[in-house]
């Protein structure tokens, strides 16, 4: 972590390099007019490695980063609904499990 964001350094062929801009920690998307934390929805919706078993770890890391990088939070950022974001994640994971999507 640094003033530009978060990076995961590739250690071998099994790991992916991730670079997440600081701005991504405050990006939102709307669902039925409710602002949600975009990154949390995007990762659960598109990454097979996010599962029911580790989604809470992802959420803790995300909110840790928001706190860690709070000095870089854009002044015009909109607050998302954390509760609705977590409910949306749960729905995505339930649909994935029912339809065996991304497994």
pLDDT digits (tens, 9 = 90+) for 67-91: 999 999 999 999 999 999 999 999 9
Q: Are 44 and 55 in contact (CB under 8 A)?
A: yes
Q: Which residues face 6 on adjacent strands?
A: 20
Token reading at 31: 């669902």
Q: Which residues face 35 on adjacent strands?
A: 30
pLDDT digits (tens, 9 = 90+) for 32-50: 999 999 999 999 999 888 9
Q: Are 103 and 62 in contact (CB under 8 A)?
A: no
Q: Residue 4: its pLDDT value, please? A: 59
Higher local confidence (pLDDT), 92 or 18: 92
Residue 9 pLDDT exceeds 90: no
Confidence tier at 55 by pLDDT (50, 70, 90): very high
Q: Residue 22: its pLDDT value, please? A: 86
DSSP code for 14: T
Token reading at 80: 């998302």
Q: What is the mean pLDDT of the chain?
A: 87
Q: Give the span between the Cα atoms of 83 and 51, in whole angstroms.
A: 18
């Amino acid at each position: 972590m640094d003033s530009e964001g978060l990076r995961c350094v590739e250690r071998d062929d099994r790991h992916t390099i991730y670079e997440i801009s600081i701005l991504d920690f405050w990006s939102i998307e709307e669902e039925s007019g409710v602002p949600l934390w975009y990154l949390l929805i995007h990762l659960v919706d598109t990454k097979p490695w996010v599962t029911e078993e580790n989604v809470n770890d992802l959420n803790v890391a995300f909110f840790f980063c928001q706190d860690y990088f709070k000095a870089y939070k854009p002044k015009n950022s909109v607050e998302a609904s954390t509760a609705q974001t977590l409910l949306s994640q749960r729905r995505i994971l339930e649909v994935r499990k029912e339809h065996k999507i991304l497994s």
